[in-house]
Chain A
Amino acid sequence: MTTLSFTNILVLSYNSLSYAAILFLLASGLSLIFGVMRIVNLAHAAFFLFAGYLALEFYNIIFGSLSLMPRIIQLVSWTLLYFAWRGLNLYVAPRHAALALLLTYIVMETLCSLVWSFRFFELFFPHVPVKPVDRINFAGMITAILVALAIAALCGMFIERFFLRRLGQDTLSQVLVTIGFAFILQDGSLYTWGGDNFMLKQPWPLNFSAVVWGLSLPQYRAFMIVIAVVVAAALFLGIERTRLGAIMRAAVDDPEMARGIGINTNVVQMAIFAIGALLAATGGVVGGAFFGVYPGLDFEILPYAFAVVIIGGLGSLGGAVLGSIVVGFIENFGTALFPELSYFALFAPMAIILAIKPTGLFGKG
């Protein structure tokens, strides 16, 4: 075991807090979705990674002049597909419409590869080769973040509306669907952007270290902490102090009764899922300049998010804050003190907390 000097402890604490910030952004969405919808969303970390890639692509578009053409083609293809689906549904049953589209797809795919030698599939999922971007500024970063968030939120809404809503409260189907989407997003990202490791560039003035009392502290880490604090405050105020927050809490207390007084719980659930995806995406974009963006990052970080919500208690915002800080500190100090045992250092306390208080430190039910 190594011993730590006082300076080491200060730096490690700073690192732990900034790590906790990213964990909070990821885990709060997981916790929120579970609290309101009783769904354990295994695709949650996939949104984290997906948003990192989206931000990377927008950096490429804004700063590396990547062509928008594949995306325009993609958008047109999906729109045409949607109208084909709607049109078919006017004349035949949905089952037959799906079959007709599937057959059309097989024919087109064969035709395209034989005659014009390209994948028909590429119209819907184009390959977009991105490169590392070195020139980046604050405004560009914010724009990329906002676009990535919007797209991630839309994906979340889509998954809730067309898949999860149909499953009701069947836990096994929920797990299977969300893990299915985790793989779809993961492999889709791999196909689209390739398998390279990328680092999102930190814009000026965040790409420097501040020197305090002779300690060199990267400013980007402070930025992560600020973002997490702002998001936590916004979430708290939104849930506890607004009418929409009250509607969400009512829908948790008694969903049937909430519908009976005019609350459209379908819209509430879709909004929650979108907010959850948005939180994960924020974590992914902000964290993308810290962890990097690479295939497998999602499944690497998901256990930490679960550790946070299990320690803090699923469905509790205060628990997510506390859990992230606990996990952030254990992870950083654990790695420094017992490098070979860092997983053990983290998951052993988690198991102990679960054994003593199965609902987590802050858990309700």
Chain B
Amino acid sequence: MSTLLSVEDIHTYYGDSYVLQGLSIHVDEGETLGILGRNGMGKTTLINSIMGFVPPRRGAIHFRGEDITTANSFDISKMGIGLCPQGRRVFPTLSVRENLLVAQQEHDVGYRWDFKEVYELFPRLGERAGQRAGSLSGGEQQMLAVGRALMTNPSCLIMDEPSEGLAPMIIQDIGNAIQSLKAEGLAVVLVEQNAAFAVKTVDRVCVITNGKVVHESSPGELWANEEVRRNHLGIG
């Protein structure tokens, strides 16, 4: 397995506040990596650094061997990183269809993902294609956020807390969608608070505390490790 995305010892700040303090992770091709950690530990900041929203002050990020540490977000997206952000961040004044349309990118090779494929994965979106995204329910917005990220035809999909604030039924739907993307060989980075949901889905987990990776293992090992669960995830 070759490495798709590697984050090497990054240090990220918001102004003076020092959030990521020498954090390293890597994602292999076709792998699903889970990132766990309690509130405010720097998970979203890690995603912001990868996407170029908040570039790290030190350290490096490589994607497919290319240095993207200080690249523009739109170039990072075009290289094949798809983002489904925390809080969904759909474009509220655009229709569902327009949300997908603006994410569509020109490719030399054929598209895997187009309107038809996204509507097949989430039939609810197809039924609401003309509706303003701001008026969708939370679950539908989450589906739209995933669909929008897929429209960019990524080779690595980053999902930041997709289960946040959703009913168990909808979480199940999203989980099934992730499983089918995984089966296609798409690499996925799944950031989660909901550890029970994450360990069912991922191949490997990293636990982040205070801007550093404090534990890395298979999901089974993590579940068996009382100490990490209690100290770093707050679940007994």
Contact = CB atoms under 8 A, between A and B. Distances in A.
A362 to B, nearest CB: 14
A262 B77 contact: yes
Contacts of A249: 91, 93-94, 98
19 contacts: A250-B91, A250-B94, A250-B98, A257-B91, A259-B53, A259-B72, A259-B77, A260-B53, A260-B73, A260-B77, A261-B83, A261-B148, A262-B77, A262-B78, A262-B105, A262-B152, A264-B72, A264-B74, A265-B74
Nearest to B52: A259
B71 to A, nearest CB: 11
B57 interface: no
Given A243-B102, A246-B98, A259 B93 contact: no
B55 to A, nearest CB: 13
B144 to A, nearest CB: 12
Contacts of B99: 250
B123 interface: no
Interface in B146-184: 148-149, 151-152
A263 interface: yes
Interface string B64-96: 000000001110011000110100010111100
Interface SS of chain A: helix, strand, loop or mixed? helix
Nearest to A252: B93
Nearest to A254: B89
A252 to B, nearest CB: 8
A249 to B, nearest CB: 6
Contact of A261 (B52, B72, B98, B149): B149
A122 interface: no
Contacts of B213: none
Most buried by A among B73, B92, B152: B73
Contacts of A263: 74, 102
Most buried by B among A250, A253, A257, A262: A262
A166 to B, nearest CB: 15
A188 B205 CA distance: 64
A260 B49 CA distance: 12
A253 B77 contact: no
A256 interface: yes
Contacts of B82: 261
A259 B85 contact: no
A258 interface: yes
Given A247-B102, A250-B102, A260 B94 contact: no
Interface in A244-280: 246-247, 249-250, 252-254, 256-265
Contacts of B25: none
Contacts of A265: 74
Interface string B25-55: 0000000000000000000000000011100
A257 B99 CA distance: 11
A223 B151 CA distance: 45
A152 B93 CA distance: 31
B94 A261 contact: no
Contacts of B89: 254, 257
A256 B94 contact: no
B102 A260 contact: no
A253 B74 contact: no
Given A249-B98, A262-B103, A265-B74, 11 more contacts: A246-B94, A246-B101, A249-B94, A250-B94, A252-B93, A254-B89, A254-B91, A258-B102, A259-B53, A261-B83, A264-B74
Contacts of A246: 94, 98, 101-102
